[in-house]
Chain A
Amino acid sequence: EAQVTQNPRYLITVTGKKLTVTCSQNMNHEYMSWYRQDPGLGLRQIYYSMNVEVTDKGDVPEGYKVSRKEKRNFPLILESPSPNQTSLYFCASSSTGTRNNEQFFGPGTRLTVL
């Protein structure tokens, strides 16, 4: 089954404790991206990657890191989480072909930083 998976689905942590949210896709997509969703603000892009070893900042990259060592994985790293990073996070992937840009979203990770 073609899918994007994220882990963990729920996470409660404390300020300053480093964490990683994993994202994996099995559709051989070149493009992967991370978004955060907050009430009234929609989805805001954090980072995206056009291919292995190629990453770029989205609209809200501060406080986050990403890496793309393999095509299927795109982890999101919070080196020192703060309460303002409490949010719902979505990973997404798509092909980079000109005809199909549909983004497939993962199930989401709800993060609470105390």
Chain B
Amino acid sequence: GENVEQHPSTLSVQEGDSAVIKCTYSDSASNYFPWYKQELGKRPQLIIDIRSNVGEKKDQRIAVTLNKTAKHFSLHITETQPEDSAVYFCAAMRSSGSARQLTFGSGTQLTVLP
């Protein structure tokens, strides 16, 4: 099955700096890569996603890049703010026929220091 590895597990940055979280996946058939943000005590919420036919996607301060050849994708947050502090999860989805399995990374605790 799919294996998603996520690094780092914890990340502290100063407010205004950039944060980068990296993930690798093992199954070349995976074709959808979402990123979720989970605030303390809350449910995960989608912040950005990318499909395998796209190399980069940006939404305001958040961007995701995908390298299919190397099987890795990254989340970039610029001009970080204290409210960006949360746990971030990457995931990879393989869709084939009637199957749709979503595998998550182990998460990154991002702390933005004021």
Binding site for B on A (CB under 8 A): 31, 33, 35, 40-45, 48, 50, 54, 56, 58-59, 90, 96, 101-103, 105-108
Counting CB contacts under 8 A, is B100 at the interface?
yes
Q: Count chain B residues whose beta carbon lies closer than 8 angstroms to a beta carbon of A.
A: 23
Which partner residue on chain A sits nearest B46 by CB separation? A102
The segment from B14-22, B62-70, B71-79, B103-111 that touches chain A is: B103-111
A10 to chain B, nearest CB (A): 12
A69 to chain B, nearest CB (A): 18
Other-chain contact of B46, A40, A90, A103, A106 (Cβ < 8 Å): A103
Binding site for A on B (CB under 8 A): 1, 6, 9, 32, 34, 43-46, 49, 89, 91, 93, 98-107
Are A50 and B98 in contact (CB-based, < 8 A)?
yes
Q: Is the interface of A mostly helix, strand, loop or mixed?
A: strand
Supposing A90-B43, A102-B34, A103-B46 touch, asked if A31 and B104 sit within 8 A by C-beta, the answer is: no
The 10 residue pairs across chains A and B that have the minimum distance between CB atoms: A105-B43, A42-B106, A43-B104, A42-B104, A102-B46, A42-B107, A105-B44, A50-B98, A101-B32, A42-B105
Are A90 and B106 in contact (CB-based, < 8 A)?
no
Supposing A42-B89, A43-B44, A108-B43 touch, asked if A103 and B104 sit within 8 A by C-beta, the answer is: no
Interface centre among B1, B89, B106 (most CB of A within 10 A): B106
